[in-house]
Amino acid sequence: MIALIITIAALVIGFIYFYFTQIVPGAIIWWSIPIIFLVAWLAGFLLLVIFFGCCTALQSKKQKITAPKPFFNWFIYHMTIFLRGFYNMKVIVEGKELIPDKKDILIVSNHQSNLDPLMIISAFKGKPVTFIMKNNIMKVPIVGTWLYVSGFLPLDRSNNRKAMEVIDQAIERLQSGFSLAVYPEGTRSKGPDMNRFRNGIFRLIEKAQVDTVVLAIDNFYKVRKRFPFCRTKVLIRVCEVLKYEDVKDMHTNEIGDRVQKTIEDNLADARSRYPWLRQ
């Protein structure tokens, strides 16, 4: 959508410029047409960035966000679609039919790169997804504020009190009927192997009493190495949906171990099926 809007704007701006500078004077320079379009496209993108900055300037991270703001979520979703094309990725989504229609779900996934949360958002069309994420990302000017008002929750792992406050906010968010995604590894693996899960995050299931969608993602760690000349296939697989009733009597360590094994088994299965995951 964002790329389409910029392209349409570039065509309009480019045609107006071409009409008054070349058609009207009767001095058409045909080889300049693609250059005019390119410059107009870049101008359209710059205007989008300015619009993005102006909208963010009207917001503050001091305000308490009880629910994600729809406009900001809409923009993030379409920006993920744009970035999918920019990074030359082909996203393969498997098992999407398993995702429940309800919006109050916890999403759990392995974590390979900074790009996989963006593509998870793009895969959940019609279901706004926000993440518990490292607080240092929220410190990035403009982007951090935009993520905050969109409902993303910053986690400061060096401050236990603030970390517990974020967990409480996450519980409230889930109980209010919104989806939330977490990475039990706590950080990127930056490769095909998973880090050990930090199972404390699974207390969200117990406290919020929600179902959990388990995802296995793969090949994201290769994108930056192959960008921009080679297209990269990446996988997002819905492994299973854990019903709250089925795990409510389990300890968080048991749930974490089960989820990690499920993801590891699905990664092994996918890599045995798809040669492009082994290349």
**pLDDT tens digit sequence for 144-178:** 888 888 889 988 877 778 888 888 999 999 998 88
Q: Is 139 left (phi over 0), alpha (psi -120 to 50) or beta?
A: alpha
Mean pLDDT of 189-201: 92
Query: Where are the domains positioned within the chain?
Result: 1-57, 68-277
For residue 26, pLDDT beyond 80? no
How much is the CA Rg of the chain, to the nearest whole Å? 22
For residue 71, pLDDT beyond 70? yes
Q: Which residue matches tokens 């998973």? A: 194
CB 259 within 8 A of CB 242: yes
Q: CA 171 → CA 37, 82, 205, distances in Å?
A: 48, 31, 9
Query: What's 40-58 look like in SS3?
Result: HHHHHHHHHHHHHHHHHHC
* pLDDT band per the 50, 70, 90 thresholds, residue 12: confident
Q: Which residues contact 92 (CB under 8 A, 6 or more apart)?
A: 233, 234, 235, 236
Mean pLDDT of 33-58: 79
DSSP letter for 212, please. E
Q: Which residues contact 131 (CB under 8 A, 6 or more apart)?
A: 117, 152, 153, 180, 181, 182, 183
Q: Is 142 left (phi over 0), alpha (psi -120 to 50) or beta?
A: left
Average predicted confidence (pLDDT) for the chain: 87
- The pLDDT value recorded for residue 96 is 92
How do residues 104-142 score in pLDDT, each as one tens digit? Answer: 899 999 999 999 999 999 988 878 889 998 888 888 887
pTM of this prediction exceeds 0.75: yes
CATH, domain 68-277, list 3.20.20.10, 3.40.1130.10, 3.40.50.2030, 1.20.140.10 = 3.40.1130.10
**Which H or E run includes 92?**
strand 89-94
Range of weakest confidence among 89-98, 144-153, 193-202, 208-217: 144-153
